[in-house]
Amino acid sequence: MIKTLILYESRYGSTWEAANIISLIMGPSRRYPVSQFADACRDFDLIVIGTPIYNGKIHPKMATFLENEREWLDEKKIALFCTCLNGSDGLRVLREVEDSLGGNVLELGILGGRLEMDRLNERDYQALTKYLSKEGLPSQGMDLFNREEIIDWALRLKDIRDDLLDKLPLSELRGDVEKFLKQRNTCTLATASHGRIRATPLEYIYNQGQLYILSEGGEKFANLLSRSMVSVAVYDDYTDMDNLCGMQITGQANIVEDLDEYSRIIKMKGMSMEFIRSLPLDLNMIRVNIEKVEFLNSEFKKQGYSSRQVLHF
Ligand SMILES: Cc1cc2nc3c(=O)[nH]c(=O)nc-3n(C[C@H](O)[C@H](O)[C@H](O)COP(=O)(O)O)c2cc1C
């Protein structure tokens, strides 16, 4: 598991709020303002540094921190983000920081900031009025803070982090994923459409990158008919933190219309088409084409790999 430290500085709360969102999505993580930086912070693997842009520069406390902690940071993977009102300012400033940190910066995030004139102290008010008139902007508050933008950036960073995991050889991982899915038969299928969500416990059978599910019908179909994207969870009961085992699957679900495919899966499940036809109700079949598996398994850690592994089908 890669632990992420989010180190930030914020004067009026926007960067703090962005740091909170990023920390939630990047967990396992911890967030600290740089003023509370402690030795324990050096144990983290990925360091996310967040700063507002003030007068074309990063926050002075962050600048001092980066100067003083260079040696230690040189050993780490880093991502940088800023909140600002002028994206090209933000990009220029973060590129300067990136250059000063060497080749270990993985990603930059230029995020919209927020400005409430009536909250500014006198010095910032004066500095800002000057900045706004230089930029040809009206002397008034601005709100470019956008949660979705921050969430998208954090999700991108999470993918980048997953690439840093100590990975199992691909064929071995695929084998382990298939074994896990074949040895179990119950999943939670999560479907969503506009304004509706549904998590349904169901029996499944795994076959060559696909899950097949039989169902008499229900609300999940209301979602599937308008949105085929699904998330499926298959997991063992919790015992303790050293024995975690479960997976989250992302895939596309479709209703099986093809009779040959339907019959083949019915046979694979040990039933006959005669039996299916003898039922008083229709039995619908859902096929989930697996696209991505996120597999958390404590056994991987015992073998010297990351307990979290990601497999793209
Ligand atoms: C005095 C002052 C100067 C600023 N200078 C810049 C700037 O040069 N470039 C920019 O893009 N935003 C500038 N901003 C906007 C801030 O970067 C933005 O409001 C940021 O989200 C504030 O972060 P915080 O709420 O975490 O303190 C300035 C804001 C103030 C108050």
Residue 171 is predicted with a pLDDT of 96
How is residue 77 annotated by DSSP? E
Q: In this structure, which residue's CA is closest to atom 2 in ligand 1?
A: 128
CA of 118 to the centre of ligand 1 (A): 14
Q: What does the buried/exposed string (b/e) look like for 14-51 if buried means 16 or more CB atoms within 10 Å of the residue's CB?
A: bbbbbbebbbebbeebbbbbbeeeeeebeebebbbbbb
CA of 259 to the centre of ligand 1 (A): 62
Residue 281 is predicted with a pLDDT of 94
Q: What is the pLDDT of residues 177-217, one digit of tens each?
A: 999 999 999 999 999 998 999 999 999 999 999 999 999 99
Q: In this structure, which residue's CA is closest to atom 3 in ligand 1?
A: 54
How is residue 201 annotated by DSSP? E
Residue 209 is predicted with a pLDDT of 97
Tokens of 259: 């009779």
Give the pairing of strands 4-8 and 142-143.
Answer: unpaired
Ligand 1 lined by 85 (C-beta under 6 Å) = yes
Ligand 1 lined by 12 (C-beta under 6 Å) = yes
Helices (H), the chain: 14-26, 60-68, 70-73, 87-101, 122-134, 147-162, 170-183, 219-226, 259-268, 273-278, 298-302
Q: Which atom of ligand 1 is nearest to 11's Cα?
A: 27
Chain centre distance of CA 213: 27
Taking a C-beta distance cutoff of 8 angstroms, is the pair 262, 287 a contact? Answer: no
Taking a C-beta distance cutoff of 8 angstroms, is the pair 53, 90 a contact? Answer: yes
Q: What is the CA radius of gyration of the chain?
A: 25
Q: In this structure, which residue's CA is closest to atom 30 in ligand 1?
A: 128
Tokens of 240: 């303790």
Residue 102 is predicted with a pLDDT of 82
Residue 134 is predicted with a pLDDT of 85
Residue 13 is predicted with a pLDDT of 96
Query: In 3-state terms, what secondary structure has residue 79?
Result: strand
Ligand 1 lined by 82 (C-beta under 6 Å) = no
Please give the domain boundaries of the chain with CATH numbers for all domains: 4-162 (3.40.50.360), 170-312 (2.30.110.10)
Residue spans of the chain under pLDDT 70: none
Q: What is the pLDDT of residues 122-156, one digit of tens each?
A: 999 998 888 888 888 888 889 999 999 999 999 99
Residue 132 is predicted with a pLDDT of 85
- Positive or negative, the CA dihedral 135, 138, 140, 144 is negative
Residue 51 is predicted with a pLDDT of 98
Residue 252 is predicted with a pLDDT of 98
